[in-house]
């Protein structure tokens, strides 16, 4: 265990712990739990089968594997897991372990939030995206056919345990996409982090440099914990974490969660948000071009937006669309974000022209 960060939420406070031994860490938690449900995916289980087999042999441990992709984040998946836990006599003293990326974390966290009106859970993120973002903050939920994360709750984990060795098997495309959330923190909160990622981008994308990655993960976790601690229910400042997400989520839905990874959609969403920050907001020409140059280092699949009206329909379903008004995240300079109510659907449709 090298370090930890406290997410300060009074009675719901917890630590983000950096630990390089997943099995040892999990066994310590299993030893003080009653029944334990590990929720993960087959591809993760197969990649780390030796580690999982040790845990699976324990008498109070059960495993449930969910499907890949955003389609797995459904109410049907949640009901299936809850039914399984009920039949196995899990109770309010039982514990859920989420071992995976955002899909696993969001689904397992939502299961924990509603089973027996709420039980404990631990997050073990296995992707860079989950390590820097989705595992922290207590957001849980599943998708509907009409939009992403429309059913969910805020339910804080007991701890988030980060083992960077999970990244060793992560495909290069995943690393590339996941850095979107990390550079987002640079855009909205920390210019030094932005500069550090830009300076080290080639090393990160080519060699999965653990020293560099650990520094980025650590700082990203610090930033998210600071923001979440100030606004646990996403009523105000926490919304800056959605920079690039309003349009990014719409693009994911438009392509039916098949063409773009989440981080790739957010990268495209940030391009649109930067355009609006420059043309409608106060982002300077210099910072705008520096931002675009930074994003150009990322490899993205080509997209063809034939029906912009459909994308706008997805934007309307976004949780940040309230009383026919969008609370849109802009940046006034690299490292400083602001919420704007001046961005219209016409502005958003215009911004899609930069993609």
Predicted local distance difference test score (pLDDT) of residue 205: 77
Q: Does residue 323 register a pLDDT over 60?
A: no
- In this prediction the pTM is 0.85
Give the long-range contacts of residues 304-309, CB within 8 A, separation 24 or more.
305/254, 305/352, 305/355, 307/254, 308/349, 308/352, 309/349
Contact 40, 65 (CB under 8 A): yes
Contacts of 125 (CB under 8 A, 6+ apart): 100, 101, 105, 131, 134, 135, 160, 162, 166
Predicted local distance difference test score (pLDDT) of residue 203: 81
Q: How many residues does the chain have?
A: 355
Q: Does residue 231 register a pLDDT over 90?
A: no
Q: Is 331 helix (H, G, I), strand (E, B) or coil?
A: strand
Mean pLDDT, the chain, whole residue set = 92
**Secondary structure E strands in 103-199:** 120-125, 139-144, 147-154, 159-162
Mean pLDDT, residues 253-272: 94
Residue 54 has which token pair?
Answer: 């040790």
Question: pLDDT by residue (tens digit) across 8-64?
Answer: 998 999 999 998 899 999 999 999 999 999 999 999 999 999 999 999 999 999 999
Residue 294 has which token pair?
Answer: 């930074």
Which are the catalytic amino acids? 117, 139, 181, 224, 234, 238, 242, 245, 249, 262
Contacts of 198 (CB under 8 A, 6+ apart): 183, 294, 297
Domains in the chain and their CATH numbers? 3-169 (3.40.50.1970), 172-354 (1.20.1090.10)
User: Token match 């105000």: residue?
Assistant: 236
Mean pLDDT, residues 260-287: 97
Mean pLDDT, residues 191-210: 84
Predicted local distance difference test score (pLDDT) of residue 320: 63
Question: pLDDT by residue (tens digit) across 90-117?
Answer: 999 999 999 999 999 999 999 999 999 9
Number of H helices, E strands in the chain: 14, 13
d(Cα 13, Cα 136) in Å, to the nearest integer?
11
């Amino acid at each position: 265990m090298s370090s930890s960060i406290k997410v300060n939420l009074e009675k719901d406070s917890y630590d983000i712990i950096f630990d390089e031994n997943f099995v040892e860490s999990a066994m310590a938690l299993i030893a003080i739990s009653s029944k334990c449900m590990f929720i993960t995916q087959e591809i993760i289980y197969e990649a780390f089968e030796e580690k999982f087999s040790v845990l699976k042999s324990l008498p109070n441990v059960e495993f449930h594997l969910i499907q890949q992709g955003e389609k797995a984040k459904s109410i049907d998946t949640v009901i299936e897991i809850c039914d399984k836990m009920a039949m196995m006599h899990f109770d309010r003293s039982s514990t859920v372990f989420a071992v995976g990326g955002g899909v696993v974390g969001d689904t397992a966290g939502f299961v924990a939030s509603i089973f027996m009106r709420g039980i404990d859970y631990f997050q073990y993120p296995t992707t860079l995206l989950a390590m820097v973002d989705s595992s922290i903050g207590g957001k849980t939920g599943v998708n509907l056919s009409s939009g992403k994360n429309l059913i969910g709750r805020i339910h804080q984990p007991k701890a988030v345990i980060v083992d960077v060795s999970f990244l060793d098997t992560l495909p290069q495309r995943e690393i590339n996409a996941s850095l979107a959330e990390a550079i987002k923190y640079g855009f909205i909160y920390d210019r030094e982090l932005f500069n550090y990622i830009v300076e080290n981008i080639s090393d990160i994308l080519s060699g999965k440099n653990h020293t560099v990655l650990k520094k980025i993960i650590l700082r990203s976790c610090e930033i998210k914990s600071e923001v979440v601690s100030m606004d646990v229910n996403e009523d105000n400042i926490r919304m800056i974490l959605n920079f690039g997400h309003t349009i990014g989520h719409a693009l994911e839905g438009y392509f039916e969660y098949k063409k773009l990874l989440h981080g790739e959609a957010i990268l495209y969403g940030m391009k649109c948000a930067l355009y609006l920050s420059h043309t409608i907001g106060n982002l300077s020409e210099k910072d705008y071009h520096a931002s675009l140059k930074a994003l150009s280092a990322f490899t993205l699949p080509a997209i063809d937006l034939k029906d912009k009206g459909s994308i706008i329909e997805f934007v309307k379903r976004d949780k940040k669309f309230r009383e026919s008004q969008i609370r849109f995240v802009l940046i006034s300079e690299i490292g400083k974000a602001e919420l704007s109510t001046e961005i219209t659907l016409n502005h958003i449709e215009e911004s899609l022209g930069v993609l």
